[in-house]
Amino acid sequence: MKPLSSRISARSIVQIAVVLIFLLPVAWMVMAALQPPGTALPTKLQDLPMAVSGSNFGRVFKVVPFGRYTLNSLLVVVLAVPLTLLISSWAGFAMARLPRPSQRRWLILSLAVLMVPGVALWSTRFIIYRQLGWLDSIWALIAPALMGTSPFFILMFYRAFRRIPAAIYDSARIDGAGVLRTWSSVALPVARPTAVAVAILSFVLYWGDFISPLLYLSSEQRYTLPIALQLLQQLNRSDWPLLLAAAVLTMAIPVLLFMLAQPYFSRVGNEPGK
């Protein structure tokens, strides 16, 4: 057998190679954003000039109110992600505590709803939001979070809570814990990795949501970053350094947040029994 150090080194080399493959498009995008204004879109890495310019990042804020759009996107995720975690974990916990026949019925219903294409909901949501007075407001963007955002997130929590032995729930009930106390003190700590995964997925979903602002917002001051990228493309279709600079700025906040939260992700992943 190979020594342990050799196996670890080979695995590290493979991991580094995979990371470099995924980082190559990002590096190309950053370097293309640093080209002088008006430069044609490069097709190869060796086509990038040695002289770089950071003026494109400043021009982004002059062409469109990029700062306002960034704050709008941050407000959406700050509200929608916690709501998604709360509602989807409640729904998953409720499903896990039902009798087995009821669990199967709700599981089938959740899978059926999950197969409904999103385009089929656009007109219905528009009518509902108009009746509620939510059109052209942030409520139209975070309304799906009030229902757990996606049945997939509910099913993720359902699977995590269902794996907890029934004896643990019974012990909590004997100790006088109610439903909410059992959810918060017993079930949710065990499902912490699932909560982290749902938080990441919902953050990416709301941060990159282009359809909802396009359909339900009409005021420019409420637009989010995906709309800002579309506006830049319409105003400066051939100015690729400007467009890619805006894309880099849009990508920077999720990457920064992920890097800051990486120690927590590693700690959760290394917990015993996870």
Q: What pLDDT, in 10s, does the model give residues 136-159? A: 999 999 999 999 999 999 999 999
- Averaged pLDDT of the chain: 85
pLDDT at 213 over 90: yes
Q: In angstroms, rounded to a whole number, what is the distance separating the alpha carbons of residues 40 and 238? A: 8
Helices (H), the chain: 4-33, 55-63, 66-96, 100-114, 122-132, 139-142, 151-162, 166-174, 179-182, 188-190, 192-207, 211-216, 225-235, 240-269
Q: Nearest 10 degrees: CA dihedral of 133, 134, 135, 138?
A: 150
Average pLDDT over residues 72-84: 95
Closest alpha carbon to 27 in 237, 235, 255: 255
Neighbours of 197 (CB within 10 A): 17
> In the chain, which residues fall in CATH 1.10.3720.10?
68-223
Q: In angstroms, rounded to a whole number, what is the distance separating the alpha carbons of residues 242 and 57? A: 7
pLDDT on residue 86: 95
- pTM surpassing 0.85? no
Average pLDDT over residues 204-215: 92
Q: Which residue is listed with tokens 């896990």?
A: 96
Identify whether the C-beta of residue 207 lies closer than 8 Å to the C-beta of residue 227. Answer: no
Q: In angstroms, rounded to a whole number, what is the distance separating the alpha carbons of residues 85 and 87? A: 6
The single-letter code of the amino acid at 48 is: L
The CATH class, in words, for 68-223 is mainly alpha
The single-letter code of the amino acid at 46 is: Q
